[in-house]
Amino acid sequence: MKYLIVGLGNIGAEYANTRHNIGFIVIDALAEKLGAKFEIGRHAYVAETSFKGRKLVLIKPTTYMNLSGKAVQHWLSVEKIPIENSLTITDDLALPFGKQRLRTKGSHGGQNGLRNIQEIMGTDAFARLRFGIGNDYPKGKQVDYVLGKFSLDQEIELKLAIDKSIQGILDFCSIGPDKTMTAFNAG
C-alpha cells in the first residue's frame, strides 16, 4: 500500500518556522524520524520512505499554499495513490494552539490550501490533520499572526504537539483512519 502525506506551507526563508508552515514543520520531523531526505520534484519537495510495509510519499508543495492542489493532484496521479490514501497536514486558526483534529472529509474552513485541493480534486473526501495554531491576535492582525513565528511559550509545547502529529500520521498509514481518529481526536 502507498500513502501520500502532504505538508502544507510556503517555500522561502521568510516563511520558515511560521505558524502557517506547520505542515512543512511536521512533515520535516516525520522525514527525519524515518530517515527520509527531500529532493526537488515537480511542484513539490518529495521524499520516499516506508513504515510497516507501506510506502510513504511525503511532499511539501512548492506551489505556495494557495495552489497546493496542483502538487497533490500531480503526485496522486504519478504515484497512482487513491485520494483516500492521502493525508494533508495544515494549520488551523480555529483550534487552540497544539490541539489537533483528524478527519477523512469536511470543509476547508477558510484554509486556502485545503480550499485549492478541494477545487482541483473536485471533492472534500480526503483526510486532513488540522494543527491548531490558536487565534491570539488583535483585530485586523490575522495575517501577521499566521505568518509570524511561534511564541516562546508555544515553542516549549511545539515538540510534543509535533510528536503527536507524527504518531497520528503513522497510525493513519498502519491501522487506518477510523481507529486513528478515535484515539487521536480523543487527546
Active site residues: 20
Strands 39-41 and 86-92: unpaired
- C-alpha neighbours within 13 Å on the C-beta side of residue 95: 19
Per-residue 3-state assignment (H helix, E strand, C coil) for 88-129: EEEEECCCCCCCEEEECCCCCCCCHHHHHHHHHHCCCCCEEE
For residue 31, report the phi and psi dihedrals to the nearest 5 degrees: -60, -40
